[in-house]
Amino acid sequence: MMVLATNNPHKVAEISPMIFSEGFECKPQQSFFNGDVEEDGMTFLENALKKARYASAQTGLPAIADDSGLEVTALGGQPGIFSARYAAGTTGRASDEQNVEKLLEQMAGLPYAQRRARYSCAVVYVEHAEDAMPLVGVGHWYGEILMQRRSEQGIGYDDVMWIPNLVKAVSEIPLDIKNRMSHRAQAVQMVLNQLKQKVQA
């Protein structure tokens, strides 16, 4: 049994089936405790590790955590680790709608050739809170930022993140396909592959 270190129901819905499909069990952290650790790291990896260690310390169980966001080339990698609070600055949180509006404003007038972006994700698994050799996975999903919302739906920046090889915005991609191709799916699977090797060793 491992703790899935998130209170985000969308992440639980995306990550849990992958864990179960590989023969492992997990429960979201809200099954054990309430509260979040402060995400004050300078990288996705630092934040994911901090969340995993916190959840493990709270429960005494192994824990898996992710941190992810959108990186836009023309904006020097922004919003990056501040993706969830982009419109609010470095403190507090903003709604998905506010974040998307700020992104579109920042990129107004840029041609598609300058609208390259990627979703990035770091996933960390720890056996215990003091684990000196955590398992780490990293994933990227490349695309372009649209000039306007596609469907007025989707989570985070999904409604303006266009995936050229699928000819769809992320918000239009069926969940089963998204859960196989996304940055988060790549990173989680990388960790699960390492965990299977560890168990079999």
Q: Tell me the one-letter amino acid at 151.
A: S
Catalytic annotation present for 67: yes
SS3 34: coil
Report CA-CA distances (Å) from 77 to 37, 70, 99, 116, 136. Answer: 24, 8, 15, 10, 22
Q: Tell me the one-letter amino acid at 23.
A: G
DSSP 13-72: HHHHHHHHHTT--EEEGGGT---------SSHHHHHHHHHHHHHHHHSS-EEEEEEEEEE
Give me the catalytic one of 67, 96, 158, 159: 67
**Residues taking part in catalysis:** 67
